[in-house]
């Protein structure tokens, strides 16, 4: 495993690909068509590369978490397989380049990259919650409901919900918060049929994944999915699961043995990063304008171990 900070920066110079977009964690590349003779051998694809960047409280932090991007990609690939009978996904290939510029995955990003069908993404973060915490808990405390879905009284931080709920959010620009919205608002934006399909798919994926995780002693408290569409050869428009799936960045995973509603739950994610940032030790004011300070080495190390542990607990095998 690589322990350098080489993959925590911006986009890379990748033969056969040109950078088109960077989110907080992933960099997207389109085929460099002139270099490929005008067409990519795998069709209309993008290269999705997960970096080692880590974000918390809507800031990208420094340094990165070594191998985090490999964990995110390998865990997503594992989940796409687990879900293959429920939903189409965007993965086309993870094959490594045989020669530079052949359109396959460049060696330098092998393990952290996937060649994916280019999707027309829905502008909706499809969130399923089986447990109440985070922004769901905040909404519930303010008004007894989450994205317009009324919930019974008396729920606490970490409570299991009577049944899993679909609580969509709108995608925010980099640096902005995603905003929870009602199902009716999603339907207004993308149409009733697609909204219902995204809701049903999201809840089906959650139900499957929650069961898989539970068998491994892990509670899947909530998760965020992103879907897009492709035009199929038969002229139909098909909904496809894109982005990353069921990773510690997109989901809350809690060790089942330690679950105890009424307090914040320990979790397999950036908990150490958040805890340190909000502790006196960091000296950082979350409400202020200053960017967060650099993460200490032990926070980086423990966070890295947490991501690796999440992968191992869920898949039952070490990363490599
Ligand atoms: P956040 O940090 O909140 O996740 P983000 O979603 O903008 O922000 P990343 O996850 O870092 O950023 O970047 C991944 C981007 O790639 C997202 O905008 C996602 O919608 C997009 N994406 C994922 N899969 C595909 C695909 N197959 N085709 C086109 N775009 C995709
Ligand atoms: Mg994302």
Label residue 77 left, alpha or beta by phi (over 0 means left) and psi (-120 to 50 means alpha): alpha
Q: Give the atom of ligand 1 at the shortest distance from the alpha carbon of 240.
A: 27
Give pLDDT, residue 2: 55
Prediction pTM value:
0.96
Give pLDDT, residue 101: 84
Q: Whose CA is nearest to atom 2 of ligand 1?
A: 24
Q: Whose CA is nearest to atom 19 of ligand 1?
A: 243
DSSP 155-221: --TTPEEEEEEE--EEPPPTTS--EE--HHHHHHHH-HHHHHHHHHHHHHHHHHHHHHHHHTTEEEE
User: What ligand has the least distance to the C-alpha of 174?
Assistant: 1
Asked whether the beta carbons of 49 and 243 are under 8 A apart, the reply is no
Query: Does the beta carbon of 30 lie inside 6 Å of ligand 1?
Result: no
Give pLDDT, residue 1: 53
Q: Biggest alpha carbon distance in the chain?
A: 63
Q: Whose CA is nearest to atom 7 of ligand 1?
A: 23
Under-50 pLDDT residues of the chain: none
Bridge partner residues of 146 (DSSP): 149
Three-class SS state of 132: coil
End-to-end CA distance of the chain: 8
How close is the Cα of 66 to the center of ligand 1, in Å? 20
Closest CA to 231 of 240, 244, 219, 241: 240
Burial of residue 112, with CB atoms counted within 10 A of its CB: 0-12 exposed, 13-18 middle, 19 or more buried: buried
Tokens 């490594």 label which residue?
A: 96
Other CB atoms within a 10 A radius of the CB of residue 81 amount to 11
Closest CA to 205 of 59, 58, 86, 36: 86
pLDDT (tens digit per residue) in 27-41: 999 999 998 889 999
Give pLDDT, residue 3: 58
Strands (E), the chain: 17-22, 26-31, 45-50, 55-56, 59-60, 91-93, 113-117, 120-121, 124-131, 145-146, 149-150, 160-166, 169-170, 179-180, 218-225, 227-231, 237-241, 251-255
Query: Does the beta carbon of 27 lie inside 6 Å of ligand 1?
Result: no
């Amino acid at each position: 495993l690589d322990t350098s900070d080489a993959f925590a920066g911006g986009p890379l110079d990748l033969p056969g690909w040109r950078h088109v977009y960077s989110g907080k964690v992933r960099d997207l590349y389109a085929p460099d068509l002139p270099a490929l003779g005008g067409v990519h051998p795998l069709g209309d694809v993008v290269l999705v590369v997960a970096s080692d960047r880590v974000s918390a409280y809507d800031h990208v932090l420094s340094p990165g978490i070594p191998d985090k991007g490999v964990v995110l990609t390998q865990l997503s690939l594992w989940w796409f397989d687990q879900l293959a009978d429920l939903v189409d996904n965007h993965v086309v290939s993870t094959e490594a380049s045989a020669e530079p510029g052949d359109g396959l995955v460049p060696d330098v990003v092998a393990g952290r990259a996937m060649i994916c069908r280019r999707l027309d993404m829905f502008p909706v973060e499809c969130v399923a919650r089986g447990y109440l915490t985070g922004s769901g808990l905040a909404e519930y405390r303010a008004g007894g409901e989450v994205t317009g879905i009324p919930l019974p009284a008396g729920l606490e931080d970490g409570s299991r919900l009577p049944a899993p709920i679909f609580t969509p959010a709108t995608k925010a620009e980099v640096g902005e918060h995603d905003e929870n919205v009602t199902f009716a608002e999603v339907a207004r934006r993308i149409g009733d049929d697609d909204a219902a399909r995204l809701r049903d798919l999201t809840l089906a994926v959650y139900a499957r994944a929650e069961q898989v995780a539970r068998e491994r002693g892990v509670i899947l408290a909530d998760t965020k999915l992103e879907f897009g569409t492709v035009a199929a050869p038969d002229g139909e428009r098909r909904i496809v699961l894109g982005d990353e799936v069921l990773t510690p960045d997109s989901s809350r995973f809690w060790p089942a043995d330690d679950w105890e509603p009424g307090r914040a739950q320990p979790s397999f994610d950036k908990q150490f990063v958040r805890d340190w940032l909000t502790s006196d030790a960091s000296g950082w004011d979350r409400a202020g304008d200053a960017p967060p300070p650099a993460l200490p080495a032990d926070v980086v190390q423990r966070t890295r171990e947490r991501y690796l542990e999440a992968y191992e607990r869920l898949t039952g095998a070490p990363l490599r």
